[in-house]
Chain A
Amino acid sequence: MDFTLRKEHEMARSLFREFAEKEVKPLAQEVDETEVFPRGTVDKMAKNGFLGIPVPKEYGGQGCDPLTYVMCVEELSKVCGTTGVIVSAHTSLCVDPIMTFGTEEQKQKYLIPLAKGEKLGAFGLTEPGAGTDAQGQQTKAVLDGDAYVLNGSKIFITNGKEADVYVVFAVTGTVEKRGRMIKEISAFIVEKGTPGFSFGTKEKKMGIRGSSTYELIFTDCRVPKENLLGKQGQGFKIAMHTLDGGRIGIAAQALGIAEGALERTIAYTKERKQFGKSIAAQQNTQFQLADMATKVQAAQLLVYKAAMAKATQKEYGFEAAQAKLYAAEVAMEVTTKAVQLHGGYGYTREYEVERMMRDAKITEIYEGTSEVQRMVISAALLK
């Protein structure tokens, strides 16, 4: 067993780090303050191939592996959690299901422009009454001639108003499963601008404030029959598979936020003087930093292991759930300690750790709460 990164991963990390430092970091505070989606940064990422990292070259992507993609989200999130989740939602939640379940025609029409970054992707599963319980879906899709007619709404949609292509889930009927009637869920590719597809309110959030989080509203929205993703009734499977991948992306975001907070705290504690010496010379600080760094390292190993599992295994939900659970909780713990070690300054918006602590919280909630991850992990242990 060897924990040494291959040359291409080392080079990719240095690329993402350089890009993050030069292009993303200078805007991070402003993006948070103004809550404006960083379109210019997204355009630059598209130009440099960051929006199609794990997609084969024949579909307009970069032909790299999941680990490279994870490193991209990690390095971006180290300086800006908003930018990290834009790439993660686009790649894991929209590009990946079309790449995995799409027909050749759907790949030609949607995957190629998404992988090239000409179009941005989003994913619509959550509803007011259906979060962790995906069976609670109310959005309906009824086949009418050559189109499915969608009615309903989706909430908390990342890249909401900024995306061009959406993978949306809706109930297409009921089926019997183990003697019980359950909802049959199907997945659809919906384009922005489709008549009957509009946007509701923008969420005002605690963190990742530059991320465009909107409600999607479907009112007699006719989606061409050929935009059904996978087979009718495969929606739940597609959603769960997609979220397994998404969790690795969010785990990478959480990891990046934790690493960013740790880096800044190390620098700050060396500079900040109290009682005639730097606070880094205090044993309490040293022990706190040691714990933070150890947990960050452990989170990185779990996240990279999950990325490697996605590359080599058919099923990787267990590894993804462990990575997300641990990295998200480490992100929350490390950013909270980072604010504490920064003292009063850490509580001000002048210092980045305040933003990082707010950004970290969402990683314990979206794409499966920490409680859901525990359900997934324990279910695998006890089956």
Chain B
Amino acid sequence: MKVVVCIKQVPDTKGGVKFNPDGTLDRAAMMTIMNPDDKAGLEAALRLKDQYGAEVTVLTMGLPKAEDVLREAMAMGADKGVLVTDRVLGGADTWATSQTLAGALRNMEYDLIITGRQAIDGDTAQVGPQISEHLNIPVISYAQNLKVEGDSVIVERQFDDRYHVLKAKMPCLITALAELNEPRYMTPGGIFDACRAEITVWGRADLKDVEDSNLGLKGSPTQIAKASDKVRKGAGEKVSLDPGESVDYIVGKLKEKHVI
């Protein structure tokens, strides 16, 4: 069984967010972590490795320093790492990113592809399902639990306060929620091995069956009009009234703001 996990190096938002003048994220200036949903997806794959001896490959697209996130995944137990990096791929939105990753995945063998539900820097939840569309394989999103049965996967898909149970024949793609599991730590020996391991590096020329018009900033239909850090909310307003007056006051405020 071969599992490919798509992971993303994302800014550690605990350290604050910085932007380039064009509104895109200044990734080079920020501390980075493995995207939490992706990490849960990786853990799910590593459990398949523990249970069935699955071979786990991690795939990422990014700047050369995104190699770090691959080494972290390998220090946790992934067998191989593939980095897709090329100047012409920069500035990609979800469409261009999924095209790029699908172009890389066409070169790889897989029974199961796992992506995180969404990345904490974009929060779109689009890349995973888009990849499945490009590769023409089934997708089950928002996985909160997963198991393999024969040549199929059975997934609990989160849905409001309940979940759906879906079964899909492999090859297929699953998008994982951080709630899926508690990811393991790296091991010290795993770190040493990962730092000595070869990482496969691919550029534009290595992507299969992808048009230039679908790649990079030029191939991205999404335009970022403006981006900003979180705006601090004001201190709010405290009023001390009896319950009846309080209701009238709140309703008045909501009307004033055209909420109701």
Contacts and interface: CB of A to CB of B under 8 A. Distances in A.
Interface of A: 6-8, 11-12, 15, 18-19, 48-50, 53, 57, 61-64, 68, 72
A11 B185 contact: no
Nearest to A53: B188
Contact of A49 (B71, B72, B189, B195): B189
A314 to B, nearest CB: 23
Interface in B176-194: 184-194
9 contacts: A6-B195, A7-B195, A8-B195, A11-B191, A15-B186, A50-B188, A62-B189, A64-B191, A72-B188
Given A11-B71, A11-B72, A11-B75, A48 B185 contact: yes
Interface in B219-252: none
Nearest to A68: B188
Contacts of B185: 15, 18-19, 48
Interface residues of B, number: 15
A53 B190 CA distance: 11
B139 to A, nearest CB: 32
A137 B24 CA distance: 71
Contacts of B188: 12, 15, 49-50, 53, 62, 64, 68, 72
Contacts of B194: 11
**Which 3 A-B pairs rank lowest in CB-CB distance, beginning with the nearest?**
A62-B189, A49-B187, A8-B195
Contact of B189 (A6, A19, A61, A72): A61
Contact of A64 (B71, B72, B184, B192): B192
Given A62-B192, A63-B192, A11 B186 contact: yes
Nearest to B188: A62
B187 A8 contact: no
Contacts of A49: 187-190
A113 B87 CA distance: 49
B9 to A, nearest CB: 14
A50 B191 CA distance: 12
Contacts of A6: 195
B189 A8 contact: no
A61 B193 CA distance: 13
Contacts, number: 47
Nearest to A16: B188
Interface string B149-193: 000000000000000000000000000000000001111111111
Given A6-B195, A11-B75, A15-B188, 15 more contacts: A7-B195, A8-B191, A11-B72, A11-B186, A11-B195, A15-B186, A48-B184, A48-B187, A49-B189, A53-B188, A62-B187, A62-B188, A62-B192, A63-B193, A64-B188
A64 B195 contact: no
A8 B197 CA distance: 12
A110 to B, nearest CB: 20
Given A7-B195, A8-B195, A11-B195, A64 B75 contact: no
A57 B71 CA distance: 19
A62 B186 CA distance: 12
A72 B186 CA distance: 13
B186 A57 contact: no
Contacts of A68: 188, 192
Nearest to A48: B185
Nearest to B67: A7
A297 B191 CA distance: 25
Contact of A57 (B75, B184, B189, B191): B189
A255 B187 CA distance: 23
Contacts of A61: 189
B103 to A, nearest CB: 29
Nearest to B186: A15
A62 B75 CA distance: 12
A14 to B, nearest CB: 9
B197 to A, nearest CB: 11
B192 A8 contact: yes
Contacts of A72: 188
Contacts of A64: 188-189, 191-192
Interface string B189-210: 1111111000000000000000
A63 B189 contact: yes
Interface in B67-81: 71-72, 75
Contacts of B71: 7, 11
Contacts of A11: 71-72, 75, 186, 191, 194-195
B191 A15 contact: yes
Among B72, B186, B187, B189: residue with most chain A CB under 10 A: B189
